[in-house]
Amino acid sequence: MDDIKENLNGLNLNGTMTNPAGGEDKPESCRKTSTSEDPESPGTTGTPLQAPSDFSDPVYKEIALANGHINRMTKDELRDKLSELKLDTRGVKDVMKKRLKSHYKKQKLMASVADGGPTDTYYDYICVVDYEATCEEDNPPEFQHEIIEFPMVLINTRTLEIEDTYQEYVRPEVNSELSDFCVQLTGITQKMVDEADTFPAVLQRVVLWLQERELGTKHKYAMLTDGSWDMSKFLNIQCRVSRIRYPPFAKKWINIRKSYGNFYKVPRTQTKLSTMLEKLGMRYEGRPHSGLDDSRNIARIAVRMLKDGCQLRVNERMHAGQLLSVPNSAPMEGAPPPLNPRTRE
């Protein structure tokens, strides 16, 4: 559904990023990587939560010197060093550089704090979502997209493994007949959606699935998506169509494209799903545009980033129907306990 999402970027329905001050940023495709979100800088994405706050500490000079040495290493030297440290040797040169820097930084910071040192991960679980929605080949501006597949992939951030998955198809109500283009793109047939429940019933079972895993009560968790569209467009539109309130647990999420671009210092043009996998030395597994398979592959990228030292954190949210950025300086917090859908008044 990448191409569909890219096309949606040009639409005006919550297609701009509004900043907290009230102004409007450029659409996602026009935004440049901000240096204030540089994970190499103190207190940003790659920095452990409890790392020393005094950046005059000699440990940071050691890290800076090590980074300078790593920057001068050839690709073969990087691969040899990663192999020696029993780290993943896949990926392009910039990815391997970042991996080695993160490893060294983590080791130094861990050694500089009290016993039982910091953890790079605030959340116990990360829940990956990648909806599939009704679509047409040309996607006219007035076309109303409805969710037809609701997948979830649950990452355990301690074991760095996919712990569980969920998938249901959804019966659309406005455009009940799938276009040939949609069927060919997603692999979802008319029979699949005809036999499925409507969105409110599916969402209620999703909430039960999350509750059974004690997310938001016993375990801290966050939602994660590949771009802004799943929450700000597809879910937002679907809630209006189904006349239910936007679910609070989905109001904040990790946009992995932003996290990937900031962490590995690459432009947004290199943050499509296929490109991220390629740059990390991985291949897509499964059927492209299957919501569950897309979610699994997004989860593989998230796991790789966590292993490389990235502290994935919420960076986008919905407020009053508008898409907002969450600054890196915002306090870390997990998603609230999931609740059953409520009808709009």
* Residue 268 to residue 58: CA distance in whole angstroms: 34
Question: Pick the catalytic residue: 40, 132, 168, 316?
Answer: 132
Q: Which of 340, 307, 341 is nearest to 155 (CA)?
A: 307
Q: Are 105 and 130 in contact (CB under 8 A)?
A: no
- In order of 84, 147, 155, 301, the CA distances from 282 in angstroms are 21, 28, 18, 9
What is the residue whose two structure tokens read 């802004």?
228
**Quick one: DSSP state of residue 151?**
E
Out of 37, 103, 146, 289, pick the active-site residue: 289
Is the Cβ–Cβ distance between 315 and 126 less than 8 Å?
A: no
Tell me if residue 219 is catalytic. Answer: no
CB 293 within 8 A of CB 271: no
> What tokens appear for 136 in the block?
């047409």
β-bridge pairing 132-133 and 147-156? antiparallel
**3-state class of 283 per DSSP?**
coil
Instruction: Classify residue 28 by its DSSP letter.
Output: G
Measured CA angle at 137 (ends 134, 141), to 5 deg: 75
Nearest to 267 by CA among 15, 110, 13, 34: 34
Tokens, residue 112: 């500089």
Residue 281 and residue 294: Cα distance in Å, rounded? 17
Instruction: Quote the CA–CA distance of 315 and 313 in Å, as a whole number.
Output: 6
Q: Which of 148, 215, 216, 221 is nearest to 179 (CA)?
A: 148
- Residue 102 Cα distances to 65, 67, 207, angstroms: 13, 9, 36
Within 72-186, residue ranges assigned H as helices are: 75-84, 93-112, 180-186
* Active site positions, annotated: 132, 289
